A and B are shown apart, each in its own frame.
Chain A
């Protein structure tokens, strides 16, 4: 789904000291990867003083089987994390979440629990006066036709409803099996297919009339500069997390945007 509403940057008078906007994605949190929770807790602590906003651009979870596990024994492993994110939100950092291809079932209840606003798949935001387009990034990989077909199925609301009616154990088994198969597929697809399609990138930017695109999903962090109708355009890709955090920090310096990509 796409909406044209632009998310305003901040309240007119941001709290003194809060002058940075952070973007993260692709943590793929899973109980087997306890160290990722440690990294995320540290990251939240590190940004808590200067973050006026934190955008989570999808795949926060390795797989999210449904909002009904929140604050239940099945989902208790996430409770301390949710508490920490909610505290961050309560302390003045605006939290935003875009669903990824692994956690597309993280919806309103999840967003409310962590004190975040759930955004559309493709969202325009105002970054200190400059408009930027943000998204998870899987919709840009148009060369991967088999993935795009599967995505259409996964995002089908009727199928999602049927899935969510299953027990948590069954949902987890389906999730594990799906991951196993898609990982195997990813192993055989060429690296060209797995990256974004440049024409698609230009198309979405031109449609909105923007020059900045921020996304994750491909696990190929970096910044790409290119020309769009004689204007400079930038595409910033967030990195996935392993033994250190990865994020984009945006501030305003001397009237222009300063972007620091860490990975």
Chain B
């Protein structure tokens, strides 16, 4: 990674006070794993299926997710638009925590954040639980701050479920589940992680979404 920082004497003075080592690791993007040729049709403009299916072709394999438009209409519509816009193509899994979840949907391999659209309402009060294999929206501590980032639960994360419409109780909106490729999810969960670009739990070798498509 190349740091692009304007020369600034005071900044450099501070950094030299506070750091003992310098330099950073160069990260090489992993070449794509072999992917099956698929004929996928994007259905933009057509009426969305009640349960859209989205395929994520990642550098570790393919993950197929079925979305629940009935229980999370705003979240699914928002997500499908990101998929159809090609937003997720080239994005990395930037936060991987074993026995918890793997998160993606917002960072490029150099850890810069892709500019996303406006935030959406939290739909965690839809009865769906953050069980193993479910897909949910990531957000900040503000309950209604989700936009493009999402995560896949590696176990039943009960504490993420909605309990009340309060700051503390809103929870994380589940809007789909993995129907194929959970083994790929588990493989991603095993990668070595470290600190990179100001964030922790970052895979040392980038795991990327090569292409995300709506298949149904």
Contacts and interface: CB of A to CB of B under 8 A. Distances in A.
B45 interface: no
B159 A38 contact: yes
B138 interface: yes
B140 A77 contact: yes
Contacts of B10: 166
Contacts of A146: 20
Contacts, number: 96
B116 interface: no
Interface residue SS majority, chain B: loop
A185 B171 CA distance: 35
A182 B198 CA distance: 11
Interface residues of A, number: 41
In the complex, which range does the number of interface residues on chain B fall in? 35 or more
Given A180-B195, A180-B196, A244 B140 contact: no
Contact of B198 (A42, A162, A176, A243): A176
Given A150-B20, A174-B11, A35 B160 contact: yes
Nearest to B200: A183
A38 B11 CA distance: 35
Given A42-B159, A77-B141, A84 B168 contact: yes
Contact of A34 (B5, B140, B196): B140
A80 B138 contact: no
Interface string B64-94: 0000000000000000000000000000000
A133 B10 CA distance: 39
B18 A174 contact: yes
A86 to B, nearest CB: 14
B194 interface: yes
Given A163-B14, A166-B14, 5 more contacts: A35-B160, A38-B160, A150-B20, A166-B10, A184-B194
Interface of A: 31-32, 34-35, 37-39, 41-42, 45, 62, 77, 80-81, 84, 146, 149-150, 153-154, 159, 162-163, 166, 170, 173-174, 176-185, 187, 242-244
